[in-house]
Amino acid sequence: MCGILGIASRTDEVFAEIYDGLLMLQHRGQDASGIVTYTGENFRERKENGLVKDVFQPSDAETLRGHIGMGHVRYPTAGSLSASEAQPFFVNAPYGIYLVHNGNITNTEEQREKVTEKYSRHLRTTSDSEILLNVLADKVADAIKVNGNADPIRNIFAGVKMTMERVQGAYSVICLIAGVGMLAFRDPHGIRPLSVAKRDAEGDGDDYAFASEDVAFGINGFQKLRDLKPGEAILIDLDGNKHEFQAVEGKLTPCIFEYVYLARPDSLLDGISVYKTQMRMGQALAKQIQDSDLQIDRIIPVPDSARPVALEVAKATGIPYREGLVKNRYVGRTFIMPGQAERQKSVRRKLNAIPLEFKDHNVLLIDDSIVRGNTIKKIVQMCREAGAKKVYIASASPPVKYPNVYGIDMPTKHELIANGQTIEEIREELGADALFYQNLDDLIWAAQEGNPEIDTFDCSCFDGNYITGSVSPDYLEALESSSRVSKKIKDMPQPGASWNAPAAASHG
């Protein structure tokens, strides 16, 4: 996950606009926030663990001065939860480069060795994002050696091209480069989203913005131009001119899980409406519900992202839709609670059942996905305590069977309830009376209808097909035995047992 945003204005201070834009991207990361601005002479930076509204104060508007800047909200997927690993990251040469990154590098160890040993660079963190920044800096420096420094934009684009040829995995990136401007680029597969927008600077030309999702544009008066192409780089120089460069020829293969869960429903990613995709997911899922011939009295979504799916299932089947679960929006994230009992109790802090919608009824719960299974299992118990006769579950996505290595917190198969288990075994573990999963072909159809020009999506967490290099069985085995994962599964029961996994740590 993670959310990134950059704004290059010709006339205005950008701190307040970056702040507002990050609020619109807060759903992509809630662990840390960071903003850096540039005056044309000096960088100004602030980053810390916490939500955007807690990290930044009104007084920062004076400190973080500049007409160009960028921000990041972090959801950790590799590294640690230390505030030192909050983004943006900085290297002082060449030029002076700040970077924010959404995604995850898959040949991290190979690149770490090259950066630290061959190029004698010191890494301050365990983050793959810092490695990516140092690779970019190395490659820009190599371009300067070949071309000289008369044309920095040429050198930067050359550095991006060499970086893409060297780094594997998923990365959408925004950089601030001293004396040059703002750079954005997207990996050759376009796995994670990134788009560009502009607005009229009232006779002074155009202002530009980049963001993970276009919901960050409207609040600041920007109009989306388009999504970055896979393997493309765009640079906005300090005079406000836009330079485009196709660094590597790529093929667009966006992450399908963005449309299931990660992105906001009001976002448009690579020409596909997230909301419309979720509606089509409901239409496809309804066919399974109808064919089951189960007696269902209520369709109840697990708030919030399952609502469009549940509404379409109800419409197609004629079964009444009800809001039977009320969400408390003022409770912290479950995984940060100190112990398993506390984490499990936190589910009840976050959700409360309306007994009238459950008592003596057969209910169908619809969730966007079932990853670890801990939360939905507790919800099933809650429904039974509220008086439900039968509790059925439908997942709007297929079974999550494989680790996601491209920037989502699914790093090890031991965490996934669907790994190594049949649907019947999963149903028993969840305590449900019936369990439905979306078919993968139907999920692909639901997204592809929005943009038929995309013929392939990254569905690796569902089908185990990793579209980039470096994701070999050896890589996955190394991930399983890494210190990051071993800390998480150290005392974990074997697959099939009930457990509550703590969160993974890092950037991306």
How many Å apart are CA 141 and CA 133, to the nearest integer? 12
The H or E element containing residue 312 is: helix 307-317
Catalytic, 2? Answer yes
Omega before 239 cis (within 30°)?
no
Query: Widest CA span of the chain, in angstroms?
Result: 77
Q: What does the chain come to in residues?
A: 508
Helix (H, G, I), strand (E, B) or coil at 353: strand
Neighbours of 75 (CB within 10 A): 24
Q: Which helix (H) or strand (E) holds 317?
A: helix 307-317
Distance of alpha carbon 449 from alpha carbon 60, whole angstroms: 44
User: In this structure, what token pair is assigned to residue 112?
Assistant: 């770490």
Q: What is the DSSP letter of 434?
A: E
CB–CB of 248/216 below 8 Å? no
Contact 380, 365 (CB under 8 A): yes
Nearest to 189 by CA among 472, 405, 399, 476: 405
Instruction: Please list the alpha-helical segments (H only) found in 365-500.
Output: 374-385, 423-430, 440-448, 460-463, 473-481, 483-489
Q: How many angstroms separate the CA atoms of 18 and 7, rounded?
A: 7
| Three-state DSSP string of 189-232 | CCCCCCEEEEEECCCCCEEEEEECCCHHHHCCCCEEEEECCCCE
Give the three-state DSSP class for 394: strand
d(CA 322, CA 25): 29
User: Which tokens hold the place of 443?
Assistant: 């999920």
Please say whether the beta carbons of 77 and 1 come within 8 A: yes
Please tell me what DSSP assigns to residue 410.
B
In sequence order, what E strands does 29-67 have? 32-38, 43-49
Which of 2, 175, 255, 461 is the catalytic position? 2
CA angle 260, 263, 269 (to 5 degrees): 95
What element of type H or E holds 169? strand 169-177
Residues marked active site are found at 2
